[in-house]
Amino acid sequence: MTASPQPHLRILLVSADLLGMSQFAGLATRLPATVETLASPAGQPRGEAFDLLVLDLAIPRPAATLVAEARTLLESHQNATGPSARLLAYGPHVARERLEEARRAGADLVVSRGQIFGDLPGVVASLWPDRPTASFPAISGGPA
């Protein structure tokens, strides 16, 4: 009897922070997830479809513009066979106005940098509250 493969998320991380990209990719292995990175939402990903676009609001452009571009990018590359693709934005907790601007612009969830790097599995699980927890074994069962 062969074990069925663990489901995983396909994540597109849009960030210009090389250290943050590396840290995020390491944390994402616990979801499990594959991560592709872009330095700007104006770029073109190599992958075909994504379940989640994670947007770093530290990119020096208006948050509403970043969210609009990220939403367009996500919609053109979302996974048609899975649950609805989501847009998660994050930034420094002290940038309250920027975080609120991203919320108003239509990000599905906006969190602080500390939240995303401190509890990535919990943040990701909150994006799909109706999805069965068995879909994400590493998330529902705690650290793998």
Residue 136 lies in a domain: no
Residue 50 lies in a domain: yes
Annotate 112-126 with b (16+ C-beta within 10 A) or e (fewer): bbeebeeebbebbbe
% of the chain with per-residue pLDDT over 70: 82
pLDDT, position 134: 41
Residue 2 lies in a domain: no
pLDDT, position 84: 80
Q: How far is CA 19 from the centre of its chain?
A: 16
Range of the domain at 124: 9-128
pLDDT, position 81: 58
Q: Which of 98, 94, 123 is nearest to 108 (CA)?
A: 123
Residue 4 lies in a domain: no
pLDDT, position 38: 95
Six-digit token string for 142: 């705690």
Residue 40 lies in a domain: yes
Residue 71 lies in a domain: yes
DSSP conformation class of 133? G
Cα–Cα distance measured from residue 104 to residue 66, given in angstroms and rounded to the nearest whole number: 12
Place of tokens 């979801």: 31
Q: 41-54: per-residue pLDDT in tens?
A: 988 898 778 999 99
pTM: 0.84
Residue 137 lies in a domain: no
CATH number at residue 102: 3.40.50.2300
Contacts of 57 (CB under 8 A, 6+ apart): 63, 66, 89, 90, 91, 95, 98, 99, 102
Residue 135 lies in a domain: no
For residues 124-144, give the mean pLDDT: 58
The number of distinct structural domains making up the chain is 1
